[in-house]
Structure 1
Amino acid sequence: MIRRTATAAMLALLVAGCGGGSAVSDLGTVVKGAKGSNIRVELRSGQRFSLAVADNPSVGDNWDLVAVPDPKVASFISEEHKRTGDGVGAGGTTYFVFNSKRPGTTEIRLRDCWRCGQATTPPDEQSRQQSGEAVFAVTVK
């Protein structure tokens, strides 16, 4: 009985150490963007990188990956959120994590649909004015 309990405990520890959240520990090369920005990014093949945008969901920010990049050039891994403070309404940064693949170019667009909730388009004029995209032209060499 003790052996079975110890084996179960070891298995639980192994499972807890794998998977979920592993991308957070390695964001790779971080490239910052913002609404209205056009950023050029040059990477080596096989390099992990993150596209980072400041956000604050409590005021209405909602960043999304508009379209997956050319999978031959870069593959999407995960979306990670890190808060900058512990207080209510604290903002932070959203990281879109990728791996570069083969040489080539691709465009990655991130969109902040401000105060859109679950909708994909801004619900009113104020939301349209505050929404925007960050565009990243990625070249893998």
Structure 2
Amino acid sequence: MTGKICSRRGPARLLPSLLVLGAVGGLAACGAATGPQEYGTDRRTIEAEVGEEFTLSLPMHPAQGEWWYRVTPRPDAKVVRGEGDREDYEGSDLVGGGDGTQYFDFKAVGPGTTEIRVLHCPVGTCVGKGESASPRPGATSTNSDQAGRARYYTFTVSVRR
């Protein structure tokens, strides 16, 4: 059987190795899915158990002056606790030099229902930063199809034991 890469018994010998690789790949995929659940503006109803972590994952374009802010009213601290926020930039090593994602991390701490409110600010549509950010006059609700205007998004969080 010269000139052939493997004999008739070759694939049978490879099968255990392929099964191991498949199992490792499957475990890696499962491990990747065990992080905090992420929610975007398309899904604003969140259900969590006490102790569970979750993240608001929002697209941003800081190079174009677009940002997201967590604004008042704050969520009930007996139900949900803010764990911080962070950004992930694409296309540039400079902060704000490319597009990316802005994350707001939370932990469910007690049973109940509360709301998390964020403000989306395209370039020039808001004044202030952080919790004190507010839209310039003429901001719209999330029901509006008017691009380029500041919008509030409200996430309803229900936490159970």
The two structures share one fold, judged by TM-score above 0.5: yes
8 Å CA contact 1:27–1:97 kept in 2: the answer is no
Distance 1:117 1:85 in 2: 27
The AA in structure 1 aligned to 2:86 is: E
Provide the rounded CA distance (Å) in 1 between the counterparts of 2:114 and 2:58: 19
User: 5+ unaligned residues in a row in structure 1: which ranges?
Assistant: 1-25
* Inter-partner Cα distance in structure 1 for 2:106 and 2:76: 11
- Residues 1-141 of structure 1: matches in 2 within 5 Å? 28-33=36-41, 39-67=44-72, 68-86=74-92, 89-114=97-122, 115=124, 116=126, 118=128, 120-123=133-136, 130-141=149-160
Quick check: 1:38–1:135 contact (8 Å CA) kept in 2? no
With a CA cutoff of 8 Å and minimum separation of 6, indicate the structure with the bigger relative contact order. Answer: 1
Q: Secondary structure at the match of 1:70?
A: coil
Q: TM-score, normalised by structure 2?
A: 0.60
Name the residue aligned to 1:19. none
Return the offset for 1:100: 0.4
Percent identity over the alignment? 29
**C-alpha distance in 2 between matches for 1:136 and 1:124:** 23
Query: 2-side partners of 1:111 and 1:138: how far apart?
Result: 17
The root-mean-square deviation of aligned C-alpha atoms, in Å, is: 2.6
8 Å contact kept, 2:86–2:104: yes
Deviations 1:59-107, CA, capped at 9 Å, x for gaps: 1212110122100100001011011322774211111001101110001
Check conservation: 1:38, 1:137, Cα contact below 8 A.
no
Structure 2 alignment gaps of length 5 or more: 1-33, 141-147
